[in-house]
Amino acid sequence: MDHLSHKQLAFLFQGVGANYQHFLDKFEEAQLNTLRHYCCTVKEELEIDLLAHLFPASEMNQMEYDKMFCDWIAIYTCDYIVYQQYVDAGIKPAIMVGYSMGLITAMACSKSISFAAGLHMLRVIYDYPKGAAVSYSMGVIVGKTNDEIRALIAQCAAEKDVYIASENNDTCLVISGIQNSVSQVLTIAEQEGAIKASTINTPYAFHSPFAARGIDRFVKLVEETSISDGEVPILSVFTQTLLQNASHLKQELIKNMASPMNWNASILALGKMGIENFVEVSLDDSLTKISKMIHLEYEFMTYKKFKRQTSARRVLS
């Protein structure tokens, strides 16, 4: 790990979708104690018992709260702890990049917003699309290019119903929109030879124009939240420019709801800046998997690899 401390590193922060109940064995007692501390903050701010969600004593505890939202908060909280552990080990970022809701985690870790402020942003994001008259969803397609997916959307006459939400890499893209139309595009993609075409477990249409409906409450929260200049610049996944100023970060938070992301272009832009080493700030390795395909010569550190190297150093010492 010493070689990483002397290199320019980009820290990658994942969005929502993971279930961290299956990854907590990667935390040692020190991290679990830190997790308990932040769970107290979660309970104070959101009245959610995150510990009961992460360590359910019974099936009843698992059903006490909305699972999807608790998973969002678990990802945000655990990744915040993972970041601190990297920094304590001397692995520090030159630039941060947030995938979707990972922007909020990146801003909290960069001290642009407080940990509590991030919790409230996630709460409002979870709430504001509710009550829509139309059902929305998202999906991922692997094995098709941007142009091919646009052709599939046109084939389904769904140009006003389905949008490309993120270009993860050249042949892994996320679509977002009206549920029935998203399902139709996924079905056609599979019939047309996609390696994978599956629904993402979310009732929202993030990173599409549909996510702008009802966004006023979130915009109001962002305007009222205390946001400072970040300690570390954040690369925009929309414009591939560096952001550190508080006012620019506020604009990015709002843009993050309904604008399409280009993760592929963002990783390549970092390479042009001379950054070819990446650290994934999460308990799993989902961003590493999609990012490795962008440039095979880039190097990635995952938390699993970090723990393995840390353990090896302890044995040697």
Give the chain's domains with CATH numbers: 4-128+214-316 (3.40.366.10), 136-203 (3.30.70.250)
pLDDT surpassing 70 at residue 5: no
Predicted local confidence at residue 2, as pLDDT: 52
Mean pLDDT for all residues in the chain: 93
Predicted local confidence at residue 65, as pLDDT: 59
Q: Is the whole-model pTM more than 0.85? A: yes
Tell me what the mean pLDDT of segment 273-284 comes to.
97
Predicted local confidence at residue 63, as pLDDT: 44
Predicted local confidence at residue 62, as pLDDT: 46
pLDDT surpassing 80 at residue 132: no
3-state secondary structure string across the chain:
CCCHHHCCEEEEECCCCCCHHHCHHHCCHHHHHHHHHHHHHHHHHHCCCHHHHHCCCCHHHHCCCCHHHHHHHHHHHHHHHHHHHHHHCCCCCCEEEECCCHHHHHHHHCCCCCHHHHHHHHHHHHHCCCCCCCCEEEEEEECCCHHHHHHHHHHCCCCCCEEEEEEEECCEEEEEEEHHHHHHHHHHHHHCCCCEEEEECCCCCCCCHHHHCCCHHHHHHHHHCCCCCCCCCEECCCCCCEECCHHHHHHHHHHHHHCCECHHHHHHHHHHCCCCEEEECCCCCHHHHHHHCCCCCCEEECHHHHHHHHHHHHHHC
Predicted local confidence at residue 60, as pLDDT: 44
pLDDT surpassing 80 at residue 236: yes
Q: Note the pLDDT tens digit of each residue in 53-110.
A: 999 875 544 444 588 999 999 999 999 999 999 999 999 999 999 999 999 999 999 9
